[in-house]
Structure 1
Protein backbone atom coordinates (compact mmCIF):
# COMPACT_ATOMS: atom_id res chain seq x y z
CA UNK A 1 0.00 0.00 0.00
CA UNK A 2 2.80 2.41 0.88
CA UNK A 3 4.58 1.60 -2.37
CA UNK A 4 1.42 2.56 -4.25
CA UNK A 5 0.44 5.62 -2.19
CA UNK A 6 3.69 7.42 -1.41
CA UNK A 7 5.14 8.14 -4.92
CA UNK A 8 2.03 9.83 -6.41
CA UNK A 9 1.19 11.64 -3.16
CA UNK A 10 4.72 13.07 -2.99
CA UNK A 11 4.14 14.47 -6.48
CA UNK A 12 0.76 15.85 -5.39
CA UNK A 13 2.42 17.57 -2.42
CA UNK A 14 5.11 19.08 -4.64
CA UNK A 15 2.94 20.14 -7.58
CA UNK A 16 -0.49 20.82 -6.09
CA UNK A 17 -0.38 21.34 -2.35
CA UNK A 18 2.22 24.10 -2.77
CA UNK A 19 -0.19 26.20 -4.86
CA UNK A 20 -3.08 28.48 -3.88
CA UNK A 21 -5.59 26.10 -5.44
CA UNK A 22 -4.37 23.01 -3.58
CA UNK A 23 -3.04 24.50 -0.34
CA UNK A 24 -5.93 22.98 1.59
CA UNK A 25 -4.72 19.42 0.83
CA UNK A 26 -2.60 18.77 3.95
CA UNK A 27 -5.31 20.22 6.21
CA UNK A 28 -7.99 18.05 4.61
CA UNK A 29 -5.81 14.94 4.81
CA UNK A 30 -4.91 15.47 8.48
CA UNK A 31 -8.45 16.30 9.62
CA UNK A 32 -9.86 13.52 7.44
CA UNK A 33 -7.61 10.88 8.98
CA UNK A 34 -8.55 12.13 12.45
CA UNK A 35 -12.25 11.97 11.60
CA UNK A 36 -11.87 8.53 10.01
CA UNK A 37 -10.23 7.16 13.17
CA UNK A 38 -12.95 8.72 15.31
CA UNK A 39 -15.82 7.36 13.22
CA UNK A 40 -14.18 3.94 12.95
CA UNK A 41 -13.84 3.66 16.73
CA UNK A 42 -17.47 4.61 17.25
CA UNK A 43 -18.58 2.00 14.70
CA UNK A 44 -16.62 -0.96 16.03
CA UNK A 45 -18.56 -4.18 15.70
CA UNK A 46 -19.67 -3.51 12.12
CA UNK A 47 -16.59 -5.11 10.59
CA UNK A 48 -17.18 -8.04 8.30
CA UNK A 49 -15.39 -9.50 5.33
CA UNK A 50 -16.50 -8.03 2.04
CA UNK A 51 -17.55 -10.11 -0.93
CA UNK A 52 -14.29 -11.62 -2.13
CA UNK A 53 -15.13 -11.72 -5.84
CA UNK A 54 -16.57 -8.20 -5.96
CA UNK A 55 -13.71 -6.75 -3.95
CA UNK A 56 -10.98 -8.45 -5.97
CA UNK A 57 -12.53 -7.39 -9.29
CA UNK A 58 -12.78 -3.76 -8.13
CA UNK A 59 -9.25 -3.86 -6.73
CA UNK A 60 -7.85 -5.35 -9.95
CA UNK A 61 -9.58 -2.71 -12.11
CA UNK A 62 -8.36 0.19 -9.98
CA UNK A 63 -4.81 -1.19 -9.82
CA UNK A 64 -4.73 -1.66 -13.60
CA UNK A 65 -5.95 1.91 -14.08
CA UNK A 66 -3.37 3.12 -11.56
CA UNK A 67 -0.53 1.48 -13.49
CA UNK A 68 -1.71 2.69 -16.91
CA UNK A 69 -2.28 6.26 -15.72
CA UNK A 70 1.10 6.25 -14.00
CA UNK A 71 2.78 5.27 -17.27
CA UNK A 72 0.93 8.00 -19.18
CA UNK A 73 1.75 10.57 -16.49
CA UNK A 74 -1.82 11.71 -15.77
CA UNK A 75 -1.32 12.37 -12.07
CA UNK A 76 -4.81 13.70 -11.30
CA UNK A 77 -6.50 10.54 -12.58
CA UNK A 78 -3.82 8.26 -11.19
CA UNK A 79 -4.47 9.40 -7.62
CA UNK A 80 -8.21 8.84 -8.18
CA UNK A 81 -7.45 5.24 -9.20
CA UNK A 82 -5.18 4.95 -6.16
CA UNK A 83 -7.97 6.15 -3.87
CA UNK A 84 -10.42 3.73 -5.47
CA UNK A 85 -7.98 0.86 -4.89
CA UNK A 86 -7.67 1.84 -1.22
CA UNK A 87 -11.45 1.84 -0.82
CA UNK A 88 -11.70 -1.55 -2.56
CA UNK A 89 -9.05 -2.95 -0.21
CA UNK A 90 -10.89 -1.51 2.79
CA UNK A 91 -14.10 -3.14 1.55
CA UNK A 92 -12.37 -6.53 1.48
CA UNK A 93 -11.11 -6.04 5.04
CA UNK A 94 -14.03 -4.41 6.87
CA UNK A 95 -17.04 -4.80 4.56
CA UNK A 96 -19.78 -2.57 3.25
CA UNK A 97 -21.46 -1.84 6.60
CA UNK A 98 -18.33 -0.24 8.00
CA UNK A 99 -17.73 1.75 4.82
CA UNK A 100 -21.26 3.13 5.03
CA UNK A 101 -20.64 4.08 8.65
CA UNK A 102 -17.50 6.05 7.75
CA UNK A 103 -18.74 7.38 4.41
CA UNK A 104 -18.17 11.04 5.21
CA UNK A 105 -14.43 10.83 6.06
CA UNK A 106 -13.93 8.81 2.86
CA UNK A 107 -15.79 11.43 0.83
CA UNK A 108 -14.14 14.33 2.64
CA UNK A 109 -10.56 13.13 2.12
CA UNK A 110 -11.16 13.03 -1.64
CA UNK A 111 -10.94 16.85 -1.50
CA UNK A 112 -7.21 16.45 -0.80
CA UNK A 113 -6.73 15.00 -4.29
CA UNK A 114 -6.10 17.46 -7.15
CA UNK A 115 -8.98 17.75 -9.63
CA UNK A 116 -8.11 17.72 -13.36
CA UNK A 117 -7.35 21.21 -14.65
CA UNK A 118 -9.71 20.77 -17.59
CA UNK A 119 -12.60 19.99 -15.23
CA UNK A 120 -11.82 23.02 -13.05
CA UNK A 121 -11.59 25.29 -16.09
CA UNK A 122 -14.83 23.97 -17.56
CA UNK A 123 -16.72 24.52 -14.32
CA UNK A 124 -15.24 27.87 -13.32
CA UNK A 125 -14.71 29.79 -16.59
CA UNK A 126 -18.42 30.52 -17.20
CA UNK A 127 -18.75 31.59 -13.55
CA UNK A 128 -15.70 33.86 -13.84
CA UNK A 129 -17.13 35.59 -16.88
CA UNK A 130 -20.55 36.02 -15.24
CA UNK A 131 -18.96 37.43 -12.06
CA UNK A 132 -16.80 39.91 -13.97
CA UNK A 133 -19.72 41.07 -16.12
CA UNK A 134 -21.92 41.46 -13.04
CA UNK A 135 -19.26 43.51 -11.23
CA UNK A 136 -18.72 45.72 -14.28
CA UNK A 137 -22.46 46.29 -14.70
CA UNK A 138 -22.88 47.20 -11.02
CA UNK A 139 -19.98 49.67 -11.01
CA UNK A 140 -21.11 51.16 -14.32
CA UNK A 141 -24.54 51.76 -12.80
CA UNK A 142 -22.82 53.80 -10.05
CA UNK A 143 -21.07 55.96 -12.64
CA UNK A 144 -17.60 54.40 -12.73
CA UNK A 145 -15.75 54.49 -16.08
CA UNK A 146 -15.62 50.73 -16.36
CA UNK A 147 -16.24 48.22 -19.11
CA UNK A 148 -15.22 44.74 -20.22
CA UNK A 149 -13.96 43.23 -23.43
CA UNK A 150 -13.58 39.47 -23.50
CA UNK A 151 -11.30 38.48 -20.63
CA UNK A 152 -10.21 42.07 -19.88
CA UNK A 153 -11.87 44.48 -17.44
CA UNK A 154 -11.12 48.13 -18.22
CA UNK A 155 -11.50 50.88 -15.63
CA UNK A 156 -10.22 54.36 -16.46
CA UNK A 157 -6.72 53.86 -17.94
CA UNK A 158 -6.19 50.49 -16.23
CA UNK A 159 -6.79 46.93 -17.41
CA UNK A 160 -7.49 43.94 -15.20
CA UNK A 161 -7.63 40.37 -16.48
CA UNK A 162 -10.69 38.34 -15.53
CA UNK A 163 -8.54 35.31 -14.67
CA UNK A 164 -6.53 37.32 -12.14
CA UNK A 165 -9.59 39.05 -10.66
CA UNK A 166 -11.55 35.83 -10.34
CA UNK A 167 -8.72 33.63 -9.09
CA UNK A 168 -10.58 33.46 -5.78
CA UNK A 169 -12.78 30.78 -7.33
CA UNK A 170 -9.80 28.50 -6.82
CA UNK A 171 -10.80 28.53 -3.15
CA UNK A 172 -14.16 26.96 -4.00
CA UNK A 173 -12.86 23.45 -3.30
CA UNK A 174 -11.18 24.62 -0.09
CA UNK A 175 -14.31 26.35 1.16
CA UNK A 176 -16.46 23.37 0.20
CA UNK A 177 -14.23 20.94 2.08
CA UNK A 178 -13.89 23.02 5.25
CA UNK A 179 -17.56 24.01 5.20
CA UNK A 180 -18.69 20.41 4.89
CA UNK A 181 -16.30 19.32 7.64
CA UNK A 182 -17.68 21.99 9.99
CA UNK A 183 -21.31 21.20 9.19
CA UNK A 184 -20.74 17.45 9.58
CA UNK A 185 -19.23 17.88 13.02
CA UNK A 186 -22.16 20.06 14.03
CA UNK A 187 -24.96 18.06 12.40
CA UNK A 188 -23.67 14.58 11.67
CA UNK A 189 -27.05 13.11 12.64
CA UNK A 190 -29.13 15.81 10.90
CA UNK A 191 -29.24 14.86 7.23
CA UNK A 192 -31.45 17.82 6.33
CA UNK A 193 -28.97 20.32 7.80
CA UNK A 194 -26.03 18.59 6.11
CA UNK A 195 -27.71 18.73 2.70
CA UNK A 196 -28.91 22.32 3.14
CA UNK A 197 -25.53 23.66 4.25
CA UNK A 198 -23.80 21.72 1.47
CA UNK A 199 -26.04 23.37 -1.11
CA UNK A 200 -25.18 26.81 0.29
CA UNK A 201 -21.42 26.38 -0.03
CA UNK A 202 -21.20 27.16 -3.76
CA UNK A 203 -23.51 30.25 -3.74
CA UNK A 204 -21.62 31.68 -0.75
CA UNK A 205 -18.27 31.14 -2.50
CA UNK A 206 -19.53 32.80 -5.69
CA UNK A 207 -20.93 35.78 -3.76
CA UNK A 208 -17.66 36.15 -1.86
CA UNK A 209 -15.68 36.13 -5.09
CA UNK A 210 -18.05 38.72 -6.60
CA UNK A 211 -17.25 41.03 -3.69
CA UNK A 212 -13.55 40.27 -4.16
CA UNK A 213 -13.70 41.32 -7.82
CA UNK A 214 -15.42 44.58 -6.83
CA UNK A 215 -12.68 45.27 -4.28
CA UNK A 216 -9.89 44.61 -6.79
CA UNK A 217 -11.47 46.81 -9.45
CA UNK A 218 -11.90 49.66 -6.96
CA UNK A 219 -8.33 49.22 -5.69
CA UNK A 220 -7.09 49.44 -9.26
CA UNK A 221 -9.11 52.62 -9.81
CA UNK A 222 -8.32 54.44 -6.55
CA UNK A 223 -4.81 53.17 -5.76
CA UNK A 224 -2.98 51.62 -8.71
CA UNK A 225 -2.86 48.55 -10.87
CA UNK A 226 0.39 47.43 -9.22
CA UNK A 227 -1.17 47.64 -5.75
CA UNK A 228 -4.24 45.66 -6.79
CA UNK A 229 -2.07 42.92 -8.32
CA UNK A 230 0.47 42.79 -5.50
CA UNK A 231 0.08 42.30 -1.79
CA UNK A 232 -3.45 43.69 -1.74
CA UNK A 233 -4.51 41.06 -4.28
CA UNK A 234 -3.52 38.23 -1.96
CA UNK A 235 -4.84 40.07 1.09
CA UNK A 236 -8.22 40.53 -0.60
CA UNK A 237 -8.31 36.80 -1.27
CA UNK A 238 -7.63 35.97 2.39
CA UNK A 239 -10.25 38.43 3.62
CA UNK A 240 -12.82 37.17 1.13
CA UNK A 241 -12.21 33.54 2.06
CA UNK A 242 -12.51 34.35 5.77
CA UNK A 243 -15.73 36.27 5.09
CA UNK A 244 -17.17 33.36 3.10
CA UNK A 245 -16.31 30.88 5.84
CA UNK A 246 -17.77 33.24 8.44
CA UNK A 247 -20.95 33.51 6.37
CA UNK A 248 -21.25 29.73 6.29
CA UNK A 249 -20.88 29.57 10.07
CA UNK A 250 -23.44 32.35 10.52
CA UNK A 251 -25.95 30.58 8.26
CA UNK A 252 -25.39 27.34 10.16
CA UNK A 253 -25.91 29.13 13.49
CA UNK A 254 -29.10 30.73 12.15
CA UNK A 255 -30.36 27.34 11.00
CA UNK A 256 -29.58 25.83 14.40
CA UNK A 257 -31.42 28.63 16.20
CA UNK A 258 -34.49 28.38 13.98
CA UNK A 259 -34.73 24.60 14.18
CA UNK A 260 -34.11 24.64 17.94
CA UNK A 261 -37.26 26.64 18.58
CA UNK A 262 -40.13 24.43 19.59
CA UNK A 263 -43.66 25.50 18.72
CA UNK A 264 -45.74 26.55 21.65
CA UNK A 265 -48.69 24.34 22.48
CA UNK A 266 -51.83 26.29 23.34
CA UNK A 267 -54.43 24.41 25.32
CA UNK A 268 -58.05 25.51 25.02
CA UNK A 269 -60.25 24.47 27.94
Structure 2
Protein backbone atom coordinates (compact mmCIF):
# COMPACT_ATOMS: atom_id res chain seq x y z
CA UNK A 1 0.00 0.00 0.00
CA UNK A 2 1.49 3.30 -1.09
CA UNK A 3 0.68 6.55 0.59
CA UNK A 4 0.17 9.61 -1.59
CA UNK A 5 0.93 13.00 -0.16
CA UNK A 6 -1.79 15.58 -0.67
CA UNK A 7 -0.56 18.66 -2.48
CA UNK A 8 -0.40 21.79 -0.39
CA UNK A 9 -3.20 24.09 -1.58
CA UNK A 10 -0.98 27.13 -1.38
CA UNK A 11 -1.78 30.51 0.06
CA UNK A 12 -5.21 31.98 -0.77
CA UNK A 13 -6.63 28.85 -2.40
CA UNK A 14 -9.49 28.70 0.11
CA UNK A 15 -10.43 32.28 -0.76
CA UNK A 16 -10.99 31.64 -4.47
CA UNK A 17 -14.74 30.74 -4.24
CA UNK A 18 -15.39 33.91 -2.25
CA UNK A 19 -13.49 35.96 -4.80
CA UNK A 20 -15.55 34.40 -7.61
CA UNK A 21 -18.75 35.36 -5.79
CA UNK A 22 -17.55 38.94 -5.50
CA UNK A 23 -16.62 39.28 -9.16
CA UNK A 24 -20.17 40.07 -10.50
CA UNK A 25 -20.64 42.76 -7.86
CA UNK A 26 -17.22 44.23 -8.57
CA UNK A 27 -17.94 44.24 -12.31
CA UNK A 28 -21.29 45.98 -11.69
CA UNK A 29 -19.62 48.58 -9.47
CA UNK A 30 -16.98 49.22 -12.14
CA UNK A 31 -19.73 49.56 -14.77
CA UNK A 32 -21.65 52.07 -12.65
CA UNK A 33 -18.48 54.04 -12.03
CA UNK A 34 -17.78 54.14 -15.78
CA UNK A 35 -21.33 55.34 -16.48
CA UNK A 36 -21.03 58.00 -13.80
CA UNK A 37 -17.80 59.31 -15.30
CA UNK A 38 -19.28 59.16 -18.81
CA UNK A 39 -22.38 61.20 -17.93
CA UNK A 40 -20.83 63.52 -15.34
CA UNK A 41 -20.30 66.31 -17.94
CA UNK A 42 -23.96 66.01 -19.00
CA UNK A 43 -25.16 66.32 -15.40
CA UNK A 44 -22.86 69.30 -14.88
CA UNK A 45 -24.37 71.07 -17.91
CA UNK A 46 -27.89 70.35 -16.64
CA UNK A 47 -27.04 71.65 -13.17
CA UNK A 48 -25.41 74.84 -14.45
CA UNK A 49 -27.59 75.77 -17.42
CA UNK A 50 -31.03 74.19 -17.03
CA UNK A 51 -31.91 73.27 -13.43
CA UNK A 52 -31.63 76.86 -12.11
CA UNK A 53 -34.57 77.72 -14.44
CA UNK A 54 -37.78 77.50 -12.33
CA UNK A 55 -39.66 75.43 -14.90
CA UNK A 56 -36.83 72.83 -14.92
CA UNK A 57 -35.93 72.85 -11.23
CA UNK A 58 -37.50 69.41 -10.80
CA UNK A 59 -34.52 67.89 -12.66
CA UNK A 60 -32.43 66.78 -9.64
CA UNK A 61 -35.43 65.08 -8.04
CA UNK A 62 -36.29 63.32 -11.30
CA UNK A 63 -32.67 62.18 -11.70
CA UNK A 64 -32.53 60.76 -8.18
CA UNK A 65 -35.86 58.96 -8.70
CA UNK A 66 -34.69 57.64 -12.07
CA UNK A 67 -31.54 56.16 -10.53
CA UNK A 68 -33.61 54.56 -7.76
CA UNK A 69 -36.02 53.05 -10.31
CA UNK A 70 -33.26 51.43 -12.38
CA UNK A 71 -31.41 50.24 -9.27
CA UNK A 72 -34.56 48.68 -7.78
CA UNK A 73 -35.54 46.98 -11.05
CA UNK A 74 -32.02 45.61 -11.56
CA UNK A 75 -31.83 44.36 -7.96
CA UNK A 76 -35.21 42.61 -8.20
CA UNK A 77 -34.21 41.03 -11.49
CA UNK A 78 -30.90 39.80 -10.07
CA UNK A 79 -32.62 38.13 -7.11
CA UNK A 80 -34.92 36.05 -9.33
CA UNK A 81 -33.98 33.17 -11.58
CA UNK A 82 -34.62 33.83 -15.27
CA UNK A 83 -34.32 31.56 -18.27
CA UNK A 84 -33.04 34.53 -20.26
CA UNK A 85 -29.98 34.85 -22.43
CA UNK A 86 -27.98 37.96 -23.33
CA UNK A 87 -28.59 39.44 -26.77
CA UNK A 88 -25.06 40.50 -27.63
CA UNK A 89 -25.64 41.71 -31.19
CA UNK A 90 -28.69 43.85 -30.35
CA UNK A 91 -27.07 45.04 -27.14
CA UNK A 92 -23.87 46.11 -28.88
CA UNK A 93 -25.89 47.93 -31.56
CA UNK A 94 -27.95 49.85 -28.98
CA UNK A 95 -24.87 50.67 -26.92
CA UNK A 96 -23.06 52.01 -30.00
CA UNK A 97 -26.14 54.08 -30.93
CA UNK A 98 -26.35 55.53 -27.42
CA UNK A 99 -22.67 56.43 -27.36
CA UNK A 100 -22.99 58.13 -30.76
CA UNK A 101 -25.99 60.12 -29.48
CA UNK A 102 -24.00 61.11 -26.39
CA UNK A 103 -21.03 62.17 -28.51
CA UNK A 104 -23.23 64.17 -30.89
CA UNK A 105 -25.21 65.78 -28.06
CA UNK A 106 -22.05 66.80 -26.23
CA UNK A 107 -20.29 68.04 -29.35
CA UNK A 108 -23.29 70.02 -30.66
CA UNK A 109 -24.27 71.19 -27.14
CA UNK A 110 -27.68 69.53 -27.42
CA UNK A 111 -28.47 68.53 -23.86
CA UNK A 112 -31.72 66.91 -24.99
CA UNK A 113 -29.89 64.45 -27.24
CA UNK A 114 -27.24 63.76 -24.59
CA UNK A 115 -29.87 62.95 -21.95
CA UNK A 116 -31.89 60.79 -24.34
CA UNK A 117 -28.73 58.80 -25.15
CA UNK A 118 -29.02 57.27 -21.68
CA UNK A 119 -31.94 55.12 -22.90
CA UNK A 120 -30.08 53.15 -25.63
CA UNK A 121 -26.94 52.99 -23.46
CA UNK A 122 -28.80 51.37 -20.55
CA UNK A 123 -30.87 49.18 -22.87
CA UNK A 124 -27.75 48.01 -24.69
CA UNK A 125 -25.97 47.18 -21.45
CA UNK A 126 -29.05 45.35 -20.21
CA UNK A 127 -29.19 43.18 -23.33
CA UNK A 128 -25.45 42.52 -23.23
CA UNK A 129 -25.37 41.51 -19.56
CA UNK A 130 -28.76 39.88 -19.01
CA UNK A 131 -31.40 39.90 -21.74
CA UNK A 132 -34.87 41.25 -22.64
CA UNK A 133 -36.40 40.32 -19.26
CA UNK A 134 -34.34 43.01 -17.52
CA UNK A 135 -35.46 45.61 -20.05
CA UNK A 136 -39.12 44.73 -19.50
CA UNK A 137 -38.67 45.17 -15.76
CA UNK A 138 -36.97 48.54 -16.32
CA UNK A 139 -39.60 49.72 -18.81
CA UNK A 140 -41.13 52.45 -16.61
CA UNK A 141 -37.66 53.85 -15.93
CA UNK A 142 -37.11 54.41 -19.66
CA UNK A 143 -40.45 56.26 -19.83
CA UNK A 144 -39.62 58.30 -16.71
CA UNK A 145 -36.41 59.42 -18.41
CA UNK A 146 -38.51 61.70 -20.64
CA UNK A 147 -39.17 63.96 -17.64
CA UNK A 148 -35.42 64.49 -17.20
CA UNK A 149 -35.00 65.89 -20.71
CA UNK A 150 -34.85 69.74 -20.77
CA UNK A 151 -37.27 70.18 -23.65
CA UNK A 152 -36.86 73.44 -25.64
CA UNK A 153 -39.25 76.33 -25.05
CA UNK A 154 -40.82 76.13 -28.50
CA UNK A 155 -42.16 72.71 -27.50
CA UNK A 156 -43.25 73.55 -23.94
CA UNK A 157 -44.92 76.82 -25.01
CA UNK A 158 -47.70 74.74 -26.55
CA UNK A 159 -48.63 73.77 -22.99
CA UNK A 160 -47.55 76.83 -21.01
CA UNK A 161 -49.24 79.58 -23.01
CA UNK A 162 -52.83 78.31 -22.63
CA UNK A 163 -52.09 77.46 -19.00
CA UNK A 164 -50.79 80.97 -18.25
CA UNK A 165 -53.75 82.60 -19.98
CA UNK A 166 -56.20 80.39 -18.11
CA UNK A 167 -54.62 81.02 -14.70
CA UNK A 168 -54.51 84.79 -15.24
CA UNK A 169 -58.16 84.85 -16.43
CA UNK A 170 -59.39 82.89 -13.40
CA UNK A 171 -57.44 85.07 -10.96
CA UNK A 172 -58.76 88.23 -12.63
CA UNK A 173 -62.36 87.00 -12.33
CA UNK A 174 -61.98 86.06 -8.66
CA UNK A 175 -60.35 89.37 -7.71
CA UNK A 176 -62.95 91.33 -9.70
CA UNK A 177 -65.84 89.61 -7.91
CA UNK A 178 -64.11 90.24 -4.57
CA UNK A 179 -64.06 93.99 -5.29
CA UNK A 180 -60.34 94.47 -5.97
CA UNK A 181 -59.18 96.92 -8.65
CA UNK A 182 -57.87 94.52 -11.25
CA UNK A 183 -57.30 94.54 -14.99
CA UNK A 184 -55.75 91.97 -17.29
CA UNK A 185 -53.91 92.14 -20.58
CA UNK A 186 -52.87 88.68 -21.74
CA UNK A 187 -50.81 87.24 -18.89
CA UNK A 188 -50.26 90.66 -17.24
CA UNK A 189 -52.37 91.46 -14.16
CA UNK A 190 -52.71 95.00 -12.80
CA UNK A 191 -53.82 94.82 -9.17
CA UNK A 192 -54.04 98.34 -7.76
CA UNK A 193 -50.66 100.05 -8.33
CA UNK A 194 -48.86 96.74 -8.93
CA UNK A 195 -48.33 94.83 -12.17
CA UNK A 196 -47.83 91.07 -12.05
CA UNK A 197 -46.75 88.82 -14.87
CA UNK A 198 -48.01 85.25 -14.78
CA UNK A 199 -44.77 83.59 -15.82
CA UNK A 200 -44.08 79.90 -16.42
CA UNK A 201 -43.08 79.33 -12.79
CA UNK A 202 -46.28 80.93 -11.51
CA UNK A 203 -48.50 79.30 -14.11
CA UNK A 204 -47.45 75.86 -13.04
CA UNK A 205 -45.16 74.55 -15.76
CA UNK A 206 -42.85 73.26 -13.06
CA UNK A 207 -45.72 71.87 -10.99
CA UNK A 208 -47.43 70.39 -14.03
CA UNK A 209 -44.37 68.40 -15.10
CA UNK A 210 -43.56 67.37 -11.52
CA UNK A 211 -47.13 66.33 -10.76
CA UNK A 212 -47.41 64.39 -14.01
CA UNK A 213 -44.08 62.66 -13.40
CA UNK A 214 -44.70 61.70 -9.79
CA UNK A 215 -48.37 61.01 -10.37
CA UNK A 216 -47.38 58.41 -12.96
CA UNK A 217 -44.76 57.13 -10.52
CA UNK A 218 -47.55 56.77 -7.95
CA UNK A 219 -49.57 54.70 -10.42
CA UNK A 220 -46.52 52.59 -11.26
CA UNK A 221 -45.77 51.81 -7.62
CA UNK A 222 -49.39 50.89 -6.82
CA UNK A 223 -49.58 48.74 -9.98
CA UNK A 224 -53.29 49.23 -10.64
CA UNK A 225 -54.75 46.57 -12.89
CA UNK A 226 -57.39 48.89 -14.37
CA UNK A 227 -55.98 50.72 -17.37
CA UNK A 228 -59.03 53.01 -17.46
CA UNK A 229 -58.51 54.13 -13.87
CA UNK A 230 -54.83 54.76 -14.54
CA UNK A 231 -55.65 56.88 -17.60
CA UNK A 232 -58.34 58.91 -15.78
CA UNK A 233 -56.08 59.58 -12.80
CA UNK A 234 -53.21 60.62 -15.09
CA UNK A 235 -55.53 63.07 -16.90
CA UNK A 236 -56.82 64.48 -13.60
CA UNK A 237 -53.29 65.65 -12.76
CA UNK A 238 -53.70 68.52 -15.24
CA UNK A 239 -56.82 70.14 -13.66
CA UNK A 240 -55.40 69.52 -10.19
CA UNK A 241 -52.23 71.38 -11.15
CA UNK A 242 -54.24 74.15 -12.80
CA UNK A 243 -56.43 74.66 -9.72
CA UNK A 244 -53.44 74.62 -7.36
CA UNK A 245 -51.66 77.26 -9.40
CA UNK A 246 -54.74 79.47 -9.65
CA UNK A 247 -54.77 79.47 -5.85
CA UNK A 248 -51.04 80.20 -5.76
CA UNK A 249 -51.22 83.19 -8.13
CA UNK A 250 -54.29 84.48 -6.27
CA UNK A 251 -52.43 84.35 -2.95
CA UNK A 252 -49.40 86.09 -4.45
CA UNK A 253 -51.60 88.80 -5.96
CA UNK A 254 -53.27 89.43 -2.58
CA UNK A 255 -49.90 89.50 -0.81
CA UNK A 256 -48.60 91.99 -3.37
CA UNK A 257 -51.64 94.24 -3.04
CA UNK A 258 -51.67 94.28 0.76
CA UNK A 259 -47.98 93.82 1.62
CA UNK A 260 -46.04 95.08 -1.35
CA UNK A 261 -43.91 93.48 -4.01
CA UNK A 262 -41.03 92.60 -1.66
CA UNK A 263 -43.25 90.33 0.46
CA UNK A 264 -44.79 88.43 -2.44
CA UNK A 265 -41.64 87.98 -4.53
CA UNK A 266 -39.34 86.92 -1.70
CA UNK A 267 -39.60 83.87 0.48
CA UNK A 268 -43.38 83.57 0.11
CA UNK A 269 -43.08 83.14 -3.66
CA UNK A 270 -40.94 80.01 -3.35
CA UNK A 271 -42.62 78.72 -0.20
CA UNK A 272 -46.12 78.97 -1.69
CA UNK A 273 -44.97 76.95 -4.70
CA UNK A 274 -43.64 74.13 -2.53
CA UNK A 275 -46.75 74.03 -0.35
CA UNK A 276 -49.18 74.01 -3.25
CA UNK A 277 -47.18 71.36 -5.11
CA UNK A 278 -47.27 69.14 -2.01
CA UNK A 279 -51.00 69.77 -1.57
CA UNK A 280 -51.75 68.99 -5.22
CA UNK A 281 -49.68 65.81 -5.06
CA UNK A 282 -51.50 64.80 -1.87
CA UNK A 283 -54.84 65.10 -3.71
CA UNK A 284 -53.94 62.13 -5.91
CA UNK A 285 -54.54 59.59 -3.14
CA UNK A 286 -58.16 60.67 -2.36
CA UNK A 287 -58.88 60.99 -6.08
CA UNK A 288 -57.61 57.45 -6.53
CA UNK A 289 -59.84 56.30 -3.66
CA UNK A 290 -62.88 57.96 -5.29
CA UNK A 291 -62.13 56.30 -8.62
CA UNK A 292 -61.71 52.96 -6.90
CA UNK A 293 -65.06 53.37 -5.17
CA UNK A 294 -66.78 54.46 -8.38
CA UNK A 295 -65.38 51.47 -10.25
CA UNK A 296 -66.46 49.01 -7.54
CA UNK A 297 -69.59 47.10 -8.59
CA UNK A 298 -72.62 47.92 -6.46
| TM-score normalised over the length of structure 2 | 0.75
Q: 2:209 aligns with which of 173, 191, 194?
A: 173
Is 2:88 aligned against 1:88?
no
**How far apart are the structure 2 equivalents of 1:42 and 1:165?**
38
Contact 1:175/1:201 (CA < 8 Å) preserved in 2? yes
> Structure 1 residues 37, 164: CA separation in 2 closer, same or farther (over 3 Å shift)?
closer
Q: CA deviation at 1:57?
A: 3.9
How many residues are treated as equivalent by the alignment? 261
Q: Deviations over 1:221-260 (max 9, x none)?
A: 232222222222222212211221121122123233444x
**How far apart are the structure 1 equivalents of 2:57 and 2:96?**
32
SS at match of 1:202: helix
Q: 1:120 aligns with which of 156, 167, 171?
A: 156
Contact 2:163/2:203 (CA < 8 Å) preserved in 1? no
Q: Match for residue 33 of structure 1?
A: 67
> Structure 1 residues 82, 109: CA separation in 2 closer, same or farther (over 3 Å shift)?
closer
> Structure 1 residues 162, 235: CA separation in 2 closer, same or farther (over 3 Å shift)?
same
Contact 1:132/1:166 (CA < 8 Å) preserved in 2? no
Q: Match for residue 21 of structure 2?
A: none
Higher relative contact order (CA 8 A, sep 6+): 1
**How far apart are the structure 1 equivalents of 2:75 and 2:121?**
23
**How far apart are the structure 2 equivalents of 1:217 and 1:47?**
59
Is 2:177 aligned against 1:130?
no
SS at match of 1:73: coil
Q: How does 1:1-269 map to 2 (within 5 A)?
A: 1-2=34-35, 3-43=37-77, 44=80, 45=82, 47-50=84-87, 52=89, 54-163=90-199, 166-259=202-295, 261=296, 263=298
**How far apart are the structure 2 equivalents of 1:198 and 1:146?**
34
Gaps of 5+ in 1: 264-269
Which of 37-46 and 94-103 deviates more?
A: 37-46
> Structure 1 residues 224, 99: CA separation in 2 closer, same or farther (over 3 Å shift)?
same
Q: CA deviation at 1:103?
A: 1.1
Q: RMSD across aligned C-alpha pairs, in angstroms?
A: 2.7
Contact 2:62/2:148 (CA < 8 Å) preserved in 1? yes
| TM-score normalised over the length of structure 1 | 0.82
**How far apart are the structure 2 equivalents of 1:209 and 1:223?**
20
> Structure 1 residues 23, 251: CA separation in 2 closer, same or farther (over 3 Å shift)?
same
Rg larger in structure: 2
> Structure 1 residues 196, 47: CA separation in 2 closer, same or farther (over 3 Å shift)?
farther
> Structure 1 residues 141, 84: CA separation in 2 closer, same or farther (over 3 Å shift)?
farther
> Structure 1 residues 60, 140: CA separation in 2 closer, same or farther (over 3 Å shift)?
same
Q: CA deviation at 1:160?
A: 0.5
> Structure 1 residues 46, 201: CA separation in 2 closer, same or farther (over 3 Å shift)?
farther
**How far apart are the structure 2 equivalents of 1:193 and 1:36?**
25
> Structure 1 residues 9, 165: CA separation in 2 closer, same or farther (over 3 Å shift)?
closer
